[in-house]
Structure 1
Amino acid sequence: MECAISQFLVIQWKRSLPSLCPIDHFSAYVADELFIEQDAERKIGWLLKLIFAGTASAVAYQFFPYLGDNLMQQSVSLLHVKDPLFKRMGASRLARFAIDDERRMKIVELGGAQELLNMLGAAKDDRTRKEALKALAVLSHSDEAVKALHHAGAVSIIRCTPDSLEDAEVEKYKSSMLKRFQDLRYDVSS
């Protein structure tokens, strides 16, 4: 605001001076007017950008909490597809979503744990087994999810999963899952 006032005072001062050449006075006046106009346009542009950013933030704040549940449901739906690539994508997404106990239980409630076990039991290749075991291992960080997995028959499915000669992570996930069941005193011997 001070900048605009000082510019206005300079323009008024220049206008009050006697002009030696009317052309110089006119060009200075036009240049000053253009400067003021450009400055006003820039300030209004920033104001409009701030209004847009504020509106977009408010809409995103209201909308994005619902987006997480939809993505979890879509990821569980990907486990129903016959193509192993889509199954791996769904399992990978579920592993990324399961960051706290609430989300892990939400995945179990949506049927994701059962579908991961079905995926593991029917897997024909190591990459699919690995993604299913990885997602199940992430889910097993919650005691309630481990309980649900145990009731779904996870121990026998994990035990029946063939070892991988190419990927050591499959064996690592299998042993960590079985250890987790032992730690929580679920029957692993059967």
Structure 2
Amino acid sequence: MRTLASQLTTYVCRGRAGNVQFRNFSSYNGKDDLALEQDAERKIGWLLKLLFAGTAAAVGYQFFPYMGDNLMQQSVSLLKVKDPLFKRMGASRLTRFAIDDERRMKIVEIGGAQELVNMLGAAKDDRTRKEALKALAALSHSDEAAGALHHAGAISVIKSTPDSLDDAEVEKYKSSLLKRFQDLRYDIPS
């Protein structure tokens, strides 16, 4: 890649007895070529990485909605398992999915509301109760989902849930849910 200008060599004549000495005044340096090549490789590498990341993001964006519905269904299925750990995992997932009214209603449609009420009614420890109440509270932010919870018998199950002396969050979720049902006028006076 030497240019013509970098290949030019100037000859200087010096000396007394006709000795000719050659000096190379070339500006070519092999290190410059190496640095340019490394810089080009680095830029091309970043371009390829960005292209790959963009493609992966586009593919993920196309397939994510299908994965979301499938994961919701799996989470509801976890609520039907007898092991409390799996029930807590399912309830925790549903809590994370219940971020807007559309998703809350999707959870209700696939049977999540009824299964959460059943989970709360059958819970034998505070951690399981807390996850069930937390998921029910997340679902109750939608008026339609709160109506579905009311029809699933959530109010009586929440009221019959034993008080927790160890975990204050159980009481917080319990009172927040009962207040939400009272605000929506679903609460039937005892």
Deviation at 1:61, TM superposition (A): 2.0
Aligned equivalent of 1:128:
128
Aligned equivalent of 1:150:
150
CA distance 1:11–1:152, shift in 2 (3 Å) = same
TM-score by length of 2: 0.82
TM-score by length of 1: 0.82
Number of residue pairs matched by the alignment: 180
**Hey, what's the Cα distance between the residues in 2 that align with 1:98 and 1:187?**
23
Which deviates more from structure 2 when the two are superposed, residues 42-51 or residues 130-139?
42-51
**Hey, what's the Cα distance between the residues in 2 that align with 1:175 and 1:46?**
54
**Hey, what's the Cα distance between the residues in 2 that align with 1:34 and 1:171?**
68
**Hey, what's the Cα distance between the residues in 1 that align with 2:150 and 2:63?**
36
Which deviates more from structure 2 when the two are superposed, residues 53-62 or residues 105-114?
53-62
Check if 1:86 corresponds to 2:86: yes
Give unmatched runs, 5+ long, in structure 2.
Answer: 12-21
CA distance 1:13–1:92, shift in 2 (3 Å) = same
Deviation at 1:43, TM superposition (A): 3.4
Aligned equivalent of 2:14:
none
CA distance 1:31–1:179, shift in 2 (3 Å) = closer
Aligned equivalent of 1:96:
96
**Hey, what's the Cα distance between the residues in 1 that align with 2:155 and 2:39?**
71
Deviation at 1:32, TM superposition (A): 4.7
Check if 1:186 corresponds to 2:186: yes
- Structure 1 or 2: more helix by fraction: 1
Q: Does structure 2 retain, via aligned residues, the 8 Å contact 1:178–1:188? A: no
Q: Pairwise CA RMSD of aligned residues? A: 2.4
Aligned with 2:162: secondary structure? coil
Q: Does structure 2 retain, via aligned residues, the 8 Å contact 1:133–1:174? A: yes
